[in-house]
Structure 1
Amino acid sequence: MDTRLAEIKKALGNPYYEASDTLLYHGDSLEILKSVPRQIFNLTVTSPPYNIGKEYENVMSIAEYVAWCETWMGHVHDATTPGGAFWLNVGYIPVPEKGKAVPIPYLLWDKSPFYMIQEVVWNYGAGVASRKSFSPRNEKFLWYVRDSDNYYFDLDSVRDPNVKYPNQKKNGKLKCNPLGKNPTDVWQFPKVTSGAKRSSAERTAHPAQFPVAVIERIIKACSPFDGVILDPFLGSGTTAVVARQQGRCSVGIELRQDYLDIAVGRLETGIQSIF
């Protein structure tokens, strides 16, 4: 086992699931994060409950929700290495007397000690229809780092090879990087869909599942090959699955045992990226 995973296991105790590259814990993220060793994770990528009444949520007031997020994000900051990063995926929430679908980043972007590099928009294509507004087709990722002057970022690992004029030159030199172009801050990846005729190949029983391709890009770009990845709201386990595929170690925390069982099943069967 990786020495950093061994240190985490010593601090947190026996996990729900253990492998040479993975530790999964069953319990409340806020409580477990309090005991995580400081400055040990190269990257945290996660999507907490949106506080909109999903089956896995206990709905709070807006003030309570923001305070809860501020607390657990503070613990994530404490556990992040000096050159490490934190990617936060959040959607929309109704704010009483203020708005129907307020982007949660508006409420959370400055509620942690992290430095925000930028917002990335995930355009996912399919979704619910709306009669009194435009149909929602995106969510946000907020990309944070611990040190604004010194953070890991490997653009070459995630360049888009789909270049219109790859051999175009200026003054005898290629105008485009031979590995491809920068993917930009708008990402177009299909959502993990359900339904008898349109269900995604990677679909599990979890109601809000990350696509493998999205997490793959984040892990490649923002963590070194020997990095340790954290997802404190593991859900169906996509972060742990992709971390293993990409040669990283990972630690996941999940409150619901049935979701942890989905994650373990995916890890054990070795699900592959379809994108």
Structure 2
Amino acid sequence: MDTNRIIHGDAVTELQKLPSSVAQSIIADPPYFNVLEDEAWDTQWKTAADYIAWCDAWVAESMRVLRDDGLAFIFGQLGKREHTFLHLMSRLSQQHQFHDLIIWDRAVGYDERRDSFTPQYEMILVLRKGESVKFNKGSVRIPYDAATIETYLKDKRYKDKDARRAHLEKGKYATNILRVPSLKGISKEKCGHPSQKPIALIEKFVACSTDVGDLVLDPFLGSGTTAAAAQRLGRQWLGIESDSSYIEIAETRLAADATLFSKS
């Protein structure tokens, strides 16, 4: 199977053409259903039931393509009073094996509201296929600053200070609340997609769920963030995208990214 390429087409249709059990990780950022109300691809379903039925189909095909020890990361978000993703998570967790729920703390809020708290997070439902999964916990450590390391080294319970310093300098293990700033219009990383995710976030998912050479699949590639993250980390990748304008953006981005990192 050819990898490191973008497939132009419908996610469900193209997923059905792929072999079973080939992807080590699936990272999917699908339409959220009436959250981005100005985007036709997010408002194409008449009812929440229609949207959930569509999700049933593409998730089922994605899980078929996933390896037995793989993980599927599925992004979702609540709208102003929209709660469809809550129902979808419940449904998918009944149909497939629940593994985790990650909260992406965007660091800044959006869509100010007069009668409730300003939302600042999105959710990532994580599903697994088998009883055991590949998970590289050490790849998603969060560095301590120098002052914190020096403070922790004063703990008298640890006699081997060199070993303790080496441990601290690796950083602490990440929790399932990941604080990564969202992309703003002035961000150099921003490249034309209204729901583009920061590559620093996607890299965490690629790093923790795959090894070098493994295949990462994104059924909704958009501007190519998953492919760029996989490319940087030495993974194989495969993306599906229905919008030709986004494919053009992704291809340009990936070519520039490959050139940049080949020189570094």
The answer to whether the superposition gives a TM-score over 0.5 is yes
Is this contact kept in 2: 1:105–1:142, CA < 8 A? no
Is this contact kept in 1: 2:193–2:223, CA < 8 A? yes
**Residue in 1 that maps onto 2:177:** 186
Once the 2 structures are TM-superposed, how far is the Cα of residue 147 of structure 1 from its aligned partner? Answer: 1.2
Structure 1: runs of 5 or more not aligned: 1-6, 10-20, 95-99
The match for 2:223 among 221, 224, 236 is: 236
CA distance in 1, matches of 2:204, 2:86: 21
CA distance in 1, matches of 2:67, 2:238: 15
Map 1:12-161 onto structure 2 (within 5 A).
Answer: 22-52=4-34, 53=37, 54-57=39-42, 58-93=44-79, 100-102=81-83, 104-111=85-92, 113-126=95-108, 127-148=110-131, 150-161=132-143
Is this contact kept in 1: 2:48–2:84, CA < 8 A? no
Paired residue secondary structure (1:270): helix
Is this contact kept in 2: 1:105–1:140, CA < 8 A? no
Letter matched to residue 114 of structure 2:
R
Paired residue secondary structure (2:191): coil
Is this contact kept in 2: 1:169–1:175, CA < 8 A? no
Once the 2 structures are TM-superposed, how far is the Cα of residue 171 of structure 1 from its aligned partner? Answer: 5.0
Is this contact kept in 2: 1:128–1:136, CA < 8 A? yes
Once the 2 structures are TM-superposed, how far is the Cα of residue 39 of structure 1 from its aligned partner? Answer: 0.2
Paired residue secondary structure (1:74): helix
Runs of 4+ in 1 over 4 A off after TM superposition: none
Once the 2 structures are TM-superposed, how far is the Cα of residue 265 of structure 1 from its aligned partner? Answer: 0.8
CA distance in 1, matches of 2:252, 2:238: 16
1:214-268 superposed Cα distances (whole Å, 9 cap, x missing partner): 0001100111112100000111110001100000010000110001111101101
Structure 2: runs of 5 or more not aligned: none
Q: More relative contact order in 1 or in 2 (CA 8 Å, sep 6+)?
A: 2
Once the 2 structures are TM-superposed, how far is the Cα of residue 176 of structure 1 from its aligned partner? Answer: 8.9
CA distance in 2, matches of 1:70, 1:218: 22
CA distance in 1, matches of 2:86, 2:230: 25
CA distance in 1, matches of 2:51, 2:124: 18
CA distance in 2, matches of 1:60, 1:153: 38
Is this contact kept in 2: 1:204–1:236, CA < 8 A? yes
CA distance in 1, matches of 2:20, 2:124: 24
CA distance in 2, matches of 1:140, 1:24: 26
CA distance in 1, matches of 2:74, 2:98: 10
Percent identity over the alignment?
Answer: 27
Is this contact kept in 2: 1:230–1:251, CA < 8 A? yes
- Relative to structure 1, the CA distance from residue 29 to residue 66 in structure 2 (aligned partners, 3 Å threshold; closer, same or farther) is same
- Relative to structure 1, the CA distance from residue 169 to residue 83 in structure 2 (aligned partners, 3 Å threshold; closer, same or farther) is farther
Once the 2 structures are TM-superposed, how far is the Cα of residue 169 of structure 1 from its aligned partner? Answer: 5.6
Superposed CA RMSD in Å reads: 2.1
Once the 2 structures are TM-superposed, how far is the Cα of residue 142 of structure 1 from its aligned partner? Answer: 1.1
Map 1:184-263 onto structure 2 (within 5 A).
Answer: 184-194=175-185, 199-263=186-250
CA distance in 2, matches of 1:107, 1:214: 23
Paired residue secondary structure (2:41): coil
CA distance in 1, matches of 2:90, 2:249: 31
Instruction: Name the stretch that deviates more: 238-247 or 58-67.
Output: 58-67
CA distance in 1, matches of 2:156, 2:73: 36
Q: Which has the higher helix share?
A: 2
